[in-house]
Amino acid sequence: MMTGTGWKIEQIDLQAGIPNMALADQYRGIYAVFWWGDIPLGHSKVLATELPLSSDQLRYRVAAAIAPAVAAYNLPEQFKAPLPHAIQTSTSTSNLESIIKIDRPFDRLPDSSDFSDSISVVICTRDRPDQLEKCLRSLKSSPYPPQEIIVVDNAPHPEKTCQQVAQMPGVTYVLEPRPGLDIARNTGIHHSMGDIIAFTDDDVEIHPNWLIGVQRAFTNPHVNAMTGLVLPVEIETEAQDLFEEYWSFNRGYCRLEFDTQYFQQLKPWGVPAWCVGAGANMAFRRSLFEQVGEFDERLDVGAAGCSGDSEMWYRIMATGGTCCYEPTAVVFHRHRRELEGLKQQIFSYMRGHVAALLIQFERTGHWGNLRRLFLSLPQYYIKLLGQRYVKGYRPRHLTLFREIRGCLSGIGFYLLDRFKSVFSLFSFS
């Protein structure tokens, strides 16, 4: 049986029952996301060779996929979702049957009427007017719109984007000619007025209840920042499949809180702040920026290439704050379709990641950042190279050399930036 490289994405609402799953012609299989109304609960990949599946056969996959989320919502004392890379303490968990039998399992979620904070949504864009239009239309069609929407245009030739935004009432257009995503984000902060400032990207589409999930994260007064669930719009090409398999923005379907205890536990090895979530779906209390500062403009697209978001989360946790991952705040991301685009993206990811490690050490003096850079990352890539040449090529190896080049480029970027800073000091003295 011939199968393709992509996955057919199906959104399945369990309130309507568990359906039969039909054949997926020309696809590698079906990427099924399970929901209860507007609440995402889990997903499962079903290979084309396993299809068709009856509803009774699919029921077992559904139960296994949603069990952690159902338990986390209903048995918070007995079941706590594990934080990534953290040393886990033993907790008692209920068996699958007891979880499935829970009556009205989602009544614990707070109602939208409980929220009073105003929200500003900032969308930074650069030369992608068609994608921006889809993003804005999905946001404008939400039954829970924000108090204001700000588009920060970071393009050198802004006419088309400006004209497009002008056709959408209630959207504020701001031109930021200085290149750099974090420069644009900071400009968005300066022009916003909301109690909460939410950021998303121009290549995403918004779930109608996104802002309900955003505010839900801040019902805990100790939460300073949040991220949400990012699902793929499509997985139709090899590049999109590889990205979702190895670099996915999906952090699961259980709420997670990354606090001081988490930070201190992992500080000796380098706190994996990137596990908090994705910059395509994040929000902050306005007051936070007065406490920890704004985004570091040396990072992300237009500068080092990436990690302006994770460096901010690191800074928040380092100063005693808490970041929350709230899976009911959902957006859909359009991954790059071409392999060359994916390779360049991953190069930028690693370049920015390494630059962020050095910046985090510069800011805090936490040696775990250098331990990750000069010990953990080399060990990781030596292991991958060994697998490549001993066990043979695997899809994971496709971006391997770009990643290594990105790491080296990140070191060079940081050192050059430091040299420029020192030189500028002497030139003014």
- Write down the domain spans for the chain: 7-100, 112-341, 346-428
Provide the pLDDT for residue 2.
Answer: 44
- Secondary structure (3-state) at 206: strand
Q: Which residues of the chain have pLDDT under 70?
A: 1-3, 77-78, 88-114, 424-429
Check whether domain 112-341 has CATH 3.20.20.10, yes or no: no
166 contacts 173 by C-beta, under 8 angstroms: yes
- The pLDDT tens digits for 241-252 are 999 999 999 999
Provide the 8-state DSSP code for 270: -
CB within 8 Å of 277: residues ≥ 6 apart: 226, 227, 228, 230, 249, 251, 309, 313, 323, 325
Provide the pLDDT for residue 92.
Answer: 44
pTM, 2 dp: 0.92
- Secondary structure (3-state) at 326: strand
Find, among 297, 320, 333, the residue nearest to 135 by Cα. Answer: 333
Provide the pLDDT for residue 82.
Answer: 86
Provide the pLDDT for residue 102.
Answer: 60
Provide the pLDDT for residue 421.
Answer: 78
- The pLDDT tens digits for 360-369 are 999 999 999 9
Provide the pLDDT for residue 91.
Answer: 46
Residues 72 and 79: their CA atoms lie apart, in Å, by: 6
177 contacts 282 by C-beta, under 8 angstroms: no
239 contacts 337 by C-beta, under 8 angstroms: yes
Provide the 8-state DSSP code for 82: P
